[in-house]
Amino acid sequence: MLLSYCTSLLEGIILEITITLCIFCVIAHVVYNVRFHPLRKYPGPWWLAATRLPYTFYVLRGTAARKTKELHDKYGHVVRINPDTLSFTSSRAWHAQDIYGPAKPGGQGNIPKDPRYYTESHMKVFNDPIRRQLIQSHLIPIHHEACLQKHTSLFISKLIQSQTRSETGEVDLSHWLHLLTTDIAGEVIFGQRFNGLENGQCQPFIAAIPGLARLFTSVIELRQYPAVFRMIKICWDWITRASRSSKPPTSMVEQPENQMNEDKLACQVGNICEDERLSSTEKEATNMALIIAGSETTANLLMGSIYLLLKHPAYLNKLTSMLRIQFQTSSDMSLSALRDQQYLNAVLKESLRLYPPAPGSLFRRTDKEGHVVLGEIIPPKTTLTMNLWAANCSPLNFHLSDEMFPERWIQPRPVEYEEDDRSAMKAFSFGPQDCPGRNASGARVYTVEFGPGLGFRKPRLVDLAEGVYVLEKVAFESEMQISTGIRLIGSASKF
């Protein structure tokens, strides 16, 4: 009896000591992060410096980009957003090439991507300059201009048909834009017809991407907690099966012969899937990244730009009037001719500034020697990021930063906009590891941007009661996505 009592007493004492030690370790960790950490001198809320948990909460809710912008609006160009991470919005982080630019002597430039935020296959493919050059060679936009024009013509005709058949005259522009960008991506990347515009339906694996991307975003964030992540691995087999069942095709031979593109040479830049210089894992990573960028992200970019034009009819009228004067028929609208349109360029830049398709953070991590950023020595193992949306809409960088004003990109501009730090706006990142598909995405936007404005008279938006933009987590980054309540309405007309 006495032995049993002593054993129980000892177990209780050990439990109390264990709990006390755990509480002490947590408090000590919090105090260290707030008061003694090498990043303690940088501004930011103490609770974000103390523990990563609040930032994880923002990521899982899809509000990390929005919260980061709010922090920059309050604290300035540099903010500590979690214990080991600094977020920047100053153009010097781009322009001085301290973080994203080519490597320079003295520990500056080309800081490696943070492996905690990217998959191993992504790091292997997109960090290798030879592989990146190979991917970019498949995406040279001049070679698929005919493909863009063909699909854009079909897109506008489908809009007109949909508007004509609708009892209310409304068109779900978001739906048709996603079908358009998916069809183009299918031909350019895979050399295959997805026939989304023809059938009015999205491919199943494309429809599954947003849900899987949100899932993977959550998993990537939870990787920051090894113990929690080990528990999550119990479900990993299910996640892998879902991913494999929803992944895009990896070879042209998977499509029936009658669905192969007849004008393959005109539309297909080169089938990445059949390139023997990439392994099967690298092809899968490349295909998934490109299909997301080519369909989901490009559609969101188009929706953001069109939405802004429809919300500001004066700019829409000015743009369409200039294009109608410049081009007599739609066949005159070549890619090179559109790129020479100064006002169209200004509208696109302003759209990218206000609603970038991937407004989240681009994480890099200093190595064991540390790096020099903006004249400050950054300690080793520190994560650095340039938050795109926060930089684009910062009042420190742009006058009336939350308002659309395309003329800020054109000379001569009003004097109050002369002080804008236009070099702070880099929608596709910067340096050796920037977005490899930026030129291809730009080509699609140039070709499609003005279609709804020219295909419909007096277009306007309806069903905006629930708000227009929501933050979604897509492709391991936060992404602006138009709500499905947006409609384009107007009487159909040809160019």
Separation CA 309–CA 453 (nearest Å): 9
| Two structure tokens written together for 230 | 């080990």
Sheet strands (E) in 346-436: 361-365, 371-373, 376-378, 383-387
Sheet strands (E) in 156-283: 170-171
- Residue 310 near residue 461, CB atoms below 8 Å: yes
Instruction: Extract the annotated binding site.
Output: 435
The kind and range of the H/E element at 313 are: helix 313-326
- Residue 479 near residue 473, CB atoms below 8 Å: yes
Closest CA to 181 of 273, 255, 291, 265: 291
| pTM of the predicted protein model | 0.78
DSSP 297: I
Separation CA 272–CA 280 (nearest Å): 11
- Residue 417 near residue 408, CB atoms below 8 Å: yes
Domains and CATH numbers, the chain: 59-492 (1.10.630.10)
Does the CA dihedral 46-51-55-58 come out positive or negative?
Answer: negative
- Residue 379 near residue 38, CB atoms below 8 Å: yes
Tell me how far the alpha carbon of residue 211 is from its chain's centroid.
15
Separation CA 184–CA 339 (nearest Å): 20
Separation CA 198–CA 75 (nearest Å): 50
Closest CA to 88 of 97, 76, 100, 96: 76
The contacts of residue 45 (CB under 8 Å, 6+ apart) are 71
| Two structure tokens written together for 384 | 């650095």
List the alpha helices (DSSP H) in 327-450.
Answer: 335-339, 342-354, 388-392, 438-448
Contacts by 252-261 with C-beta closer than 8 Å and gap 24+?
252/190, 252/191, 252/192, 255/190, 255/192, 255/193, 259/192, 259/193, 259/195, 260/191, 260/192, 260/193, 261/187, 261/191, 261/192, 261/193
Distances (CA, A) of 327 to 24, 331, 365: 72, 8, 48
Separation CA 162–CA 172 (nearest Å): 9
How many other CB atoms are found less than 10 A from the CB of residue 396?
Answer: 15
Closest CA to 177 of 461, 474, 445, 473: 445
| Two structure tokens written together for 6 | 């002593």
Which pLDDT value is given to residue 269? Answer: 41
C-alpha R_g of the chain = 25
Closest CA to 99 of 389, 367, 373: 373
What are the average pLDDT values for consecutive 10-residue runs of the chain, which has 495 residues?
A: 68 80 87 92 94 91 86 94 93 71 59 78 61 58 66 80 75 80 78 81 74 76 80 66 54 43 41 56 67 74 80 85 78 75 88 81 82 84 89 92 92 90 74 46 54 49 40 36 46 44
Instruction: Extract the annotated binding site for heme.
Output: 435
Which pLDDT value is given to residue 475? Answer: 28
Separation CA 165–CA 162 (nearest Å): 5
Q: Cα 315–316–319 angle (5° rounding)?
A: 85
- Residue 445 near residue 187, CB atoms below 8 Å: no
